Amino acid sequence: MDLQTVRWFLAVADLGHVTNAAAELRVSQPGLSRAVARLERDLGHPLFDRVGRGVVLSPYGAVFAEHARRLVAEEEAARRALAQAADPERGEVSLAFLHTQGPSFVPDLIRRFRADHPGVTFRLIQDRAGPIAAAVAEGRADLGITSPRPDGPDFGWRPLITERLSLVVPSGHRLAHRERVRLAEVGDEPFVAFRPDTGLRPIFERLCERAGIRPRIAFEGEETMTVRGLVAAGLGVAVVAPQPPGEEEFHGVRHIALAEPDAVRDIGLTWSDARTRPPVAEAFRAFVLAAPPAN
């Protein structure tokens, strides 16, 4: 059974006459009759009863016609959806991004892109670095904004932002008055660290190794707000991403710039070279890559 035959069946059902249906469909009457006969054999039931020179739906045909109309409607909806997906002005972009990029960076990109492409919609995934890379590799996200660069030969990557990392301490901490601090100065204190599957964890471990620190981990979190809150509670200190521009200092903590030159992380755009992306996703990728780099 194919959809063309189903469409022909519905034409006969609507017109009640094989010859008239053949004329409207611009096919031969014998060819249409054979197609309907094949459909009846496939389904195992007669679909039409003859009435004079015309035909009417049999009880089986009436049941099948209800489903046939839904089949045709679904096929038409699928074609419309494909056409929309191929339209760079009306499709959907699936974008995964880090929690830290949610307050300002990602919304600003979307706002500026939609100013020129108002018909484009976004499906957003906010997560950690590991799940973001998996979403892009598996095709659940067209693009990802993440750090560090995902491992694997199929990942494309372009750095977008270089962020300087901070040490966050309780507001009453002995170093809270400082503007800059070296990580070694808190080497004997407990740390509130990010989980191993987050992008900041390997950077933190690298910084500790170069500073000669074997960090004591008091807790492992996955969101910056949780980490800051536990620092405010006095559970330890933490290495975190910088605060978004304009954001007030989190209550009970103080952010201090790390003095190490390599206390940075690159936030970049990633995609899978092994997967086909719709034109709208390609348009957004080109827009992001053409945006002036921020430092």
Contact (CB, 8 A) for 119 and 89: yes
- Per-residue pLDDT tens digits for 11-27: 999 999 999 999 999 99
Per-residue pLDDT band at 83 (split at 50, 70, 90) = confident
92-162+266-290: CATH, from 3.10.20.30, 3.40.190.10, 3.30.420.340, 1.10.3720.10? 3.40.190.10
The angle, 0 to 180 degrees and rounded to 10, between the axes of the packed helices 59-85 and 3-15 is 130
pLDDT at 52 over 60: yes
166-262 shares the fold of 3-85: no
Q: What pLDDT score does 72 carry? A: 87
Residue 246, pLDDT score? 63
* pLDDT(7) > 80: yes
Query: Is residue 101 over pLDDT 60?
Result: yes
Question: What would the mean pLDDT of 217-235 be, rounded to a whole number?
Answer: 93
Q: Which fold has domain 3-85?
A: Arc Repressor Mutant, subunit A (1.10.10)
Summarised one tens digit per residue, pLDDT across range 106-119 is: 999 999 999 999 99
Residue 197, pLDDT above cutoff 80: yes
For the chain, give every domain's residue range. 3-85, 92-162+266-290, 166-262
Q: How many residues does the chain have?
A: 295
Let me know: does 68 contact 9? Beta carbons within 8 Å. Answer: yes
Tokens of 135: 């979403």
pLDDT at 295 over 50: no
CATH fourth-level superfamily of 166-262: Periplasmic binding protein-like II (3.40.190.10)
Report pLDDT for 245: 65
Q: What percent of the chain has pLDDT over 90?
A: 71
- b or e along 162-179 (b: 16 or more beta carbons within 10 Å of the residue's beta carbon)? ebebbbbbbeebebeebe
> How many H helices and E strands in the chain?
9, 13
Which of the pair, 84 or 196, is modelled with greater confidence?
196
**Averaged confidence pLDDT in the chain:** 90
